[in-house]
Structure formats: structure tokens, C-alpha cells
Structure 1
Amino acid sequence: MYHSPSQLPVLAIAAVVAAIAAAEPAVASQTVQSKTVKINGVELFYREAGPSNAPAVLLLHGFPSSSHMFRNLIPQLSERYHVIAPDYPGFGHTVAPANFSYTFASVANLIDTFTQTIGVKQYTLFVQDYGGPVGFRLAVKHPERLQGLVIQNAVANVKGWNPDAVKQFAPFWKERNAETEKPIRALLTADTTRFQYEHGTTRPQNLSPDAWTMDQAGLDRPGNDAIQLGYLFDYQNNVAAYPAWGELLKKQQPPTLIVWGRNDPFFTMKGVEYFRNLLPQAVVHDYDAGHFALETYGDEIAAETLNFLDALPRR
């Protein structure tokens, strides 16, 4: 096609603008989208925000929450990152068939398929509580996909547990019956759910009651107690997998940020020490907070997470 000389500067500028647009992520919308995708019979709900061509951050929630625990973090990260936060079966808005196997291995396989289905080939993992067993399994299965790791009160060794919690679970894992289930069922009550948010916090004014009331509404759904007891019984397989996770982290040395509520009644600072020994280059920040540190130190954790993500090498 012929272009007159007067057209060439304009065309050259247009070409440069197009190249920049293709190379750099678009400005993110602050709107967090709610989506559902069907995977092997599971109607998996997830929240998504940020430019689709930006580096991906996969947020993996804990117990007894859902992607709702990241409701404030997602808009802060999505200014320049593609942020995805799914709900596991039995949590939030995800709907699973009756024959779904409620184990951490099954959830990890589901999230693995989910990332491939939505076209996310590499990601930084942000894991909290249950998100640890899910995320560490993903890392072992696909170490080449892991660009970075953010750990918020998720353990990978027994010493990171409060010893009283280990004593509580031991009889249940040894022999599951109505008697050994009793103390475990207490974890599903409204008092315990609220305790998980309130214990150890020094900023109670930052706690939204919407967090624990929404979590409890999910736990109280008909039949959900059986699902949660299934996960809690299966947690012993996470403990058995701790050595494999530690070996992977020690070998791969992924860039790691640790943001930890130091007053967590379940997962202690010994869990942080373990990660420090495995990952000596990890950046560590601990806060005067409890298990759900994001609720009271969300802005600080978001800022540290953005600093960490910005420093990651781009693949």
C-alpha cells in the first residue's frame, strides 16, 4: 500500500503507540468481577481483577473463609497485576457435585485445572492457612509455573503448629468416630469462627463482623459440616507431605515474602523460623495481629506484597 510522505510521521507514531500498548499492561479497572467456570462438574466461583496480560497473582484462601477474605487486597493488587481468587468446594460460592472428593489433593488438582482453563500459565501464589496445602501442592506439581510465593500464616512443618492443636487432632486422625469428632466439631461453631478473627489482634476497630458472619453462614449450610470434617480429617495427609514441600522449597528457592500475624493461636512464629531456614533470602514481616492478619494490617501487607511483586523478574 502506498503512503504519502506526509502520512509517514503519523503512521510511525501510531506504530510506536501500538507497540507500547502491546508490551505494557493496560491500566487496571478497580472493578472486581465475580465469575463462575464449570470444571469436571464443579461450578467454581472466583473473583478476578486487573489487566489480563499482567503477571498473575493467585490468592488461595484459608479456613473457614473464602475468596471474601481477599475483598480488600484484590483492588490494591489489581492496579498493576492480574489477580484471581477462587473459592474451594465447600467454601464461598463454589458448588460441587455430591461425589466430589473433599481432600486437599482434589482441591489442588481442581485449582490446577482451573488455572489452565482460564489461561494462566505462570503465577505468584499468595497462600493463607488452607491455601498453603493447596499452593504447595501446585508448586510441587508445576515448579516451572511458580514465579513467587507470599506466605501469610500457613505452615509446612509440625513445629509451626501450636502444640495444643496437635494434641486436639491426634485422636481424630488416629481413629475417627463420634467421640474423637467432638473437639473437631467445635471448630465449626460461631464462637470459634469469631475467635479466629479476634484473637491476637491489636486493632479490633479494623475488624469487620461481615468477615466471620459470612464464614459462619457458609459453615452452617446443610451438609457442610460433613464436608468440613472431611477436610479436617484429610489434613493429616498435609502433615505427611510436609517433607516433600520443604524439599521443593529448599531446592527451587522461589522468591518469597512472608507476612505473618505473630499472635496466631494456631500457627506460631516457629513456622516462620522454618521458612527462614529453608529460604534464607525470604523477606519477612510480622505484625501484631492474629490468624487473619489481612483484616487488621491489610494496607501494610498490600504495600509489602506490591513491593515484592514489583521486584520479581519478568519471565
Structure 2
Amino acid sequence: MINLQEWRRGGRVFEYRGWPVFTRTGGNPEGEALVLIHGFPTSSWDWNKIWPQLAERYALYAIDMLGFGDSAKPRDFSYLIADQAELIETWLMEQGVGDYHILAHDYGDTVAQELLARDRERLNVTRTGVPKLRIRSVCLLNGGIFPETHQPVLIQKLLLSPLGALVARLTSKRKFAANLRKICGPATPPTAADIDGFWALIRQNDGLGVMHRLIRYMPQRRQHRARWVGALCNEWIPVKLIDGLLDPISGAHMVARYRQLVPDANVTELADIGHYPQTEAPASVLSAYLDFRASIAETSVTVAET
């Protein structure tokens, strides 16, 4: 686990379209690149409980997307999922990253789906030669990857309503903590340190002032369903789902839909866990993810030998 102060000290600022964006890199420079994409309404600090272990094996890249955490939260930004994907790709190319793997959660799942769609498009346009960026695998944690199974909680519905700006302004730390506890497993509630850190990052840079804009990712999921769900149903990149089944937003009901739509679905079900597996059950998430990566490596060796 890395506390928030230490996390911030290890970060750097990336300038994107004139806006400061918080980024954090680290890990094994000899390892493959792993990009960690956070969810709504938190930040890259979400990964702090598994960062040290992942850092032993992989070169890690994490970013607070625009509107989140310690990054800028402009009032005049569109907050389109496509724009967040563009931010991540721009930053990765600036870092000299080529091939990379993705570990994502919640809102970050949708950004990962857009990145997957872009990866497929690049492969289809062969006249441009070898793409500069290539995704090698994707692992998703709880998120609304299918709009038809996404079950938003009341606060999300209110933020999306015409009263969204007012609702965001009236949100308090106490209300935030109560909502967070409702979506976590009853045996794995957020700690006081989790709540303090999440709330500090949400409020940073007047974050409450843009929450009603950020929540517009939900109608975007319906608008781009064919593109984003289609990107998951692929045969060119290994995809893994790790899901806390007690999540009221995207738990067991979403897993059932995933198994229906995704060919040869690779799923790890966490029976007693809710919406934040990486903070509720970091050891289980880490074990499932490392097993997934080991299976990819074994497949690559087998293909190379035949």
C-alpha cells in the first residue's frame, strides 16, 4: 500500500493542451509496459494497494485523467471518452511506449474499450505500416461495459439530471462515504484512509464543479455501444474480467451478460467483493491478474515453438 502523500510525491506533471495532468510511472524498466486506468470518481491512486507488487514485474504507467484526482478539471472540456483515450495515447507516445497491456476499472473500462477499438482500426489500415501503439492484453475490473446491464446508483442518476451541478456541490464527505460503502462488499468496506484519500482527490482543483460533466460518460456508453462492445468481442487480443459479484452496479448480473457475449470468456469471480476489487481484495486481484499474464506468456511460447 502507498499512502496518498507518497503517491503524490512519486508523480510528475504532463502538459496536455495547456492543462497539467498528474502521471506516475515506475516499476521494472525491463518489464512489459502496463497501463493502469482508474474509474469514476476517483483517480490513479486507486491502484496503490497493488502497485508495489506489480512494480516487481512490469513497467507501470498510471494517469489521472482530465477531471479526476490531481489533474486539471477544466469547465470547458468535453469529457468525452474518446478525448480521455486520446490523452492516454498522447502521453504514452511521449513516454516512448509502443506495445502495452491494460488493467482498468469502472470508467477506465470504457476508456480501455475505446483504446481497443482504435487498436483494431489501426490493424485494419495496413497501408500505414506497423502501428506505433499496440495493445497486447486487457484486464477489466467491475465496470459498465454493457449499457444494458449497468445499474447506476441514485447519486449517479441525480448527477446526470438537470440538477446535477447542484447535487455535486451539495455532496459531502459523509454522503460520499455512505455511497461508497453501499457499493463495496459488506465484509470489505473502505477504510478511513481510503475515504480520506478518495475525498481529497475528488475535491482537488474544485472537482465537485465538474462531476456533473464527468457523469456524461453513461449516455456515451449507449451511443457507442456497438463500437465499444464490439471491441471486447475480439479474437486478436486476450481479454480478462475480474469482478466483485456483490457490486450492485456491475456485479453478478454484468458477469452473466459478459459470458453471453464475449467468446471464450475468461472470468475470475470474487464472490464476497463489491465494486472496488483492487481496494477491497488486492491480493485476490493481483493473483488473478498474474495468472492471466502467465497464461498469455505460455501461449506465446507455445505459438513460437510450433
CA deviation profile, 1:9-43 (whole Å, cap 9, x unmatched): xxxxxxxxxxxxxxxxxxxxxx9742222222122
**Which residue type is aligned with residue 248 of structure 1?**
A
Distance in 2 (CA, whole Å) between partners of 1:45 and 1:122 is 22
Structure 2 SS opposite 1:168: helix
What is the deviation of 1:187? 9.5
Distance in 2 (CA, whole Å) between partners of 1:259 and 1:97 is 32
Q: Give 1:36-75 correspondences, 5 Å limit.
A: 36-75=13-52
CA deviation profile, 1:105-164 (whole Å, cap 9, x unmatched): 221111111111111112211111110121111111123522111111012212322276
Please name the residue that 1:217 is paired with.
Answer: 200
What is the deviation of 1:86? 0.7
User: Could you tell which deviates more after superposition, 195-204 or 68-77?
Assistant: 195-204
Distance in 1 (CA, whole Å) between partners of 2:208 and 2:229 is 31
Distance in 1 (CA, whole Å) between partners of 2:48 and 2:226 is 33
Mark the runs of 5 or more structure 2 residues left unpaired by the alignment: 1-5, 124-133
Aligned residue among 226, 237, 246 for 2:229: 246
Aligned residue among 264, 271, 277 for 1:293: 277
> Contact (CA 8 Å) 1:87, 1:94: kept in 2 or not?
yes
Identity among equivalent positions (%) equals 22
Structure 1 SS opposite 2:11: strand
**Which residue type is aligned with residue 149 of structure 2?**
G
CA deviation profile, 1:39-86 (whole Å, cap 9, x unmatched): 221222122222234211111101121111100111111111111111
Please name the residue that 2:128 is paired with.
Answer: none
User: Could you tell which deviates more after superposition, 37-46 or 93-102?
Assistant: 93-102
Aligned residue among 75, 78, 87 for 1:110: 87
Please name the residue that 1:26 is paired with.
Answer: none
Please name the residue that 2:111 is paired with.
Answer: 134
Please name the residue that 2:162 is paired with.
Answer: 177
TM-score, reference length from structure 2: 0.80
Aligned residue among 146, 149, 153 for 2:142: 153
Please name the residue that 1:275 is paired with.
Answer: 258
Structure 1 vs Structure 2 CA RMSD: 2.9
CA deviation profile, 1:248-275 (whole Å, cap 9, x unmatched): 2223353122111111122232222222
Structure 2 SS opposite 1:38: strand
TM-score, reference length from structure 1: 0.78
Q: Which contiguous aligned blocks of 4+ residues in structure 1 show a shift greater than 6 angstroms?
A: none
> Contact (CA 8 Å) 2:150, 2:254: kept in 1 or not?
yes
Distance in 2 (CA, whole Å) between partners of 1:129 and 1:234 is 11
Structure 1 SS opposite 2:61: strand
Please name the residue that 1:303 is paired with.
Answer: 287
Structure 2 SS opposite 1:139: helix
User: Could you tell which deviates more after superposition, 59-68 or 232-241?
Assistant: 232-241
Structure 2 SS opposite 1:265: coil
Distance in 2 (CA, whole Å) between partners of 1:285 and 1:67 is 23
Change (3 A) 1:76 1:196: farther
Please name the residue that 1:25 is paired with.
Answer: none
User: Could you tell which deviates more after superposition, 190-199 or 121-130?
Assistant: 190-199
Change (3 A) 1:167 1:103: closer
Structure with greater Cα Rg: 1
Distance in 1 (CA, whole Å) between partners of 2:139 and 2:175 is 26
Distance in 1 (CA, whole Å) between partners of 2:295 and 2:217 is 37
What is the deviation of 1:97? 5.3
Distance in 2 (CA, whole Å) between partners of 1:256 and 1:283 is 7
What is the deviation of 1:215? 1.8
Structure 1 SS opposite 2:21: strand
The alignment of Structure 1 onto Structure 2 pairs a total of residues equal to 278
Distance in 2 (CA, whole Å) between partners of 1:101 and 1:223 is 17
Mark the runs of 5 or more structure 1 residues left unpaired by the alignment: 1-30
Change (3 A) 1:188 1:258: farther
What is the deviation of 1:181? 5.8
